[in-house]
């Protein structure tokens, strides 16, 4: 099918666009905008479109895009059904594929296996030590210390909390109810639970506390490895324990390409793929369909179109943050949404 007609370069008049939101997407957005501003310059080598980016949090990204404070909001989560009712003119456009790692600080223990039931029991304080029979059962032959478990969770509202609690709920709805799935949740009282701010807080907090367990965005992979944290193999729907690798993340994402609806609002947690890593998500741009003027709308279309095509290049843009490119059919769906941006 032929893609909708989208501008491949910005309008010639100088324009400045603004972006704010997800801290997970922020570094990638920075490399995208830098490259874009370098590629499209006027005769005096000045960028035609300047894009200011900000790392404020997915919630602010959504709110600012909805009110028109910024042109593009960045979010780790798609718009909820209540959001779409409240802001009918708001789009969530998939830009890249991210994943979440489950990290732990247990010296000497490699390739720990965990599933949603055990994680839910750990995070609700039912399992409190690492040598608990339920963990032993998943890890035969691994010597687990009688160490207390320190559960880390995010203090600030976070897309990562949403992904993690979605996984717990998808794997074991009886232990983790759907009403406790959100970017902030009421954590059950687990002994030794600690709250950290931001992914970097999770990394340093886990490094400082032996016996910790934490959920951290895949873009922090190099930092968790540098901090000496282990990455757990996580059970997917068919019971296979997998590490978050480019292959397993792409396998999970591609099993959702057909079911991704035209508005691209879909949870990719605990998917059907037998060799897919179970905690995977789209990163979104939140954009209003009615922008201030036609030139601005055209420039936003051109930039986002560039992002879902040129910006998907793995070595230049995605590999440094360990994101995966969108499958071709999802790019088409994103383009269709981008073409709806007008004035």
Partner 1 sequence: MARQAPALPADGGAGIPLSRRLGRLLSGDATARRVGFAFALLPAVALAFVLITLLVKALPAFGFNGLSFFTKSVWNVGGYSSAVTKTGGVEHLQGQQFGVLAEVVGTLVSSAIALIVAVPVSVGAALFIVERLPRQLANLVGAFLELLAGVPSVIIGLWGALTFGPFIAKDIAPAIANHMPDVPVLSYFRGATGAGLGELVSGLVLAVMVIPIVAATSRDLIRQVPILPREGAIALGMSDAQTARRVTLPWVGSGILGAIVLGLGRALGETMAVAMTCGFALGAVPGNIYGAMSTIAATVVFQLDQAFSDPSGFEIRTLAELAVVLMVITLATNVLAALLVRRVSGTALPVGRGL
| Site residues (vs partner 1, CB under 8 A) | 56-60, 62-63, 77, 80-83, 85-87, 150, 155-157, 162, 166, 178-187, 189, 191-195, 197, 205, 208-209
Name the minimum Å distance from CB 195 to partner 1: 4
Q: Which residues contact 44 (CB under 8 A, 6 or more apart)?
A: none
Nearer to partner 1, 23 or 33 (CB): 23
Q: Which long-range contacts (CB under 8 A, 24 or more apart) does 254-257 make?
A: 254/327, 257/327, 257/329, 257/330
Question: Which three-class secondary structure state does DSSP give residue 281?
Answer: strand
Nearer to partner 1, 120 or 251 (CB): 120
Name the minimum Å distance from CB 189 to partner 1: 6
Nearer to partner 1, 118 or 194 (CB): 194
Q: Which long-range contacts (CB under 8 A, 24 or more apart) does 168-172 make?
A: 168/116, 168/119, 168/120, 168/123, 170/116, 170/237, 170/269, 170/270, 170/278, 171/115, 171/116, 171/117, 171/119, 171/120, 171/235, 171/270, 171/278, 172/116, 172/117, 172/120
Name the minimum Å distance from CB 66 to partner 1: 9
Name the minimum Å distance from CB 275 to partner 1: 28
Nearer to partner 1, 31 or 180 (CB): 180
Say how many C-beta atoms besides its own lie within 10 A of residue 59's C-beta: 19
Backbone φ and ψ of 202, nearest 5°: -65, -40
Name the minimum Å distance from CB 334 to partner 1: 21
Name the minimum Å distance from CB 80 to partner 1: 5
- Give residue for tokens 């005769």: 43
Nearer to partner 1, 3 or 191 (CB): 191
Of 1, 34, 18, the C-alpha closest to 311 is 34
Name the minimum Å distance from CB 78 to partner 1: 9
Nearer to partner 1, 19 or 298 (CB): 19
Nearer to partner 1, 96 or 185 (CB): 185
Query: Residue 242's beta-bridge partner residues?
Result: 234
Nearer to partner 1, 182 or 263 (CB): 182
Dist CA 71 CA 338 (whole Å): 13
Nearer to partner 1, 201 or 278 (CB): 201
- Give residue for tokens 């367990």: 213
Q: Which residues contact 197 (CB under 8 A, 6 or more apart)?
A: 154, 155, 156
Query: How is residue 316 annotated by DSSP?
Result: I
Longest CA–CA span in the chain (Å) reads 69
Q: Which residues contact 108 (CB under 8 A, 6 or more apart)?
A: 143
């Amino acid at each position: 099918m032929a893609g909708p007609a989208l501008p491949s370069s910005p309008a010639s008049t100088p324009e400045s666009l603004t972006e704010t939101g997800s801290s997970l997407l922020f570094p990638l957005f920075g490399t995208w905008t830098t490259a874009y501003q370098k590629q499209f310059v006027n005769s005096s080598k000045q960028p035609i479109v300047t894009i200011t980016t900000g790392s404020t949090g997915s919630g602010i990204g959504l709110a600012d895009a909805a009110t028109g404070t910024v042109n593009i909001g960045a979010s780790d989560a798609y718009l909820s059904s209540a959001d779409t009712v409240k802001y009918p003119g708001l789009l969530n456009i998939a830009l890249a594929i991210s994943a979440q790692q489950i990290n732990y600080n247990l010296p000497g223990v490699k390739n720990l296996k965990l599933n949603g039931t055990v994680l839910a029991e750990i995070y609700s304080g039912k399992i409190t030590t690492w040598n608990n029979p339920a963990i032993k059962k998943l890890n035969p032959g691994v010597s687990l210390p009688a160490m207390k478990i320190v559960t880390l969770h995010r203090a600030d509202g976070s897309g990562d909390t949403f992904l993690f609690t979605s996984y717990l709920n998808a794997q074991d709805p009886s232990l983790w109810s759907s009403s406790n799935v959100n970017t902030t949740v009421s954590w059950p009282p687990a002994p030794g639970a600690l709250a950290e701010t931001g992914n970097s807080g999770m990394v340093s907090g886990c490094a400082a506390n032996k016996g910790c367990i934490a959920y951290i965005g895949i873009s922090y992979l190099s930092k968790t490895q540098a901090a000496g944290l282990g990455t757990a193999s996580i059970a997917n729907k068919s019971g296979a324990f997998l590490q978050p690798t480019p292959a397993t993340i792409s396998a999970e994402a591609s099993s959702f390409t057909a079911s991704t609806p035209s508005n691209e609002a879909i949870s990719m947690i605990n998917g059907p793929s037998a060799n897919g890593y179970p905690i995977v998500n789209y990163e979104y741009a939140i954009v209003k369909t009615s922008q201030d003027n036609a030139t601005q709308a055209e420039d936003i279309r051109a930039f986002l179109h560039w992002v879902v095509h040129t910006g998907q290049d793995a070595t230049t843009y995605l590999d440094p943050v360990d994101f995966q490119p969108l499958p071709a059919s999802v790019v088409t769906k994103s383009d269709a949404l981008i073409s709806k941006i007008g004035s």
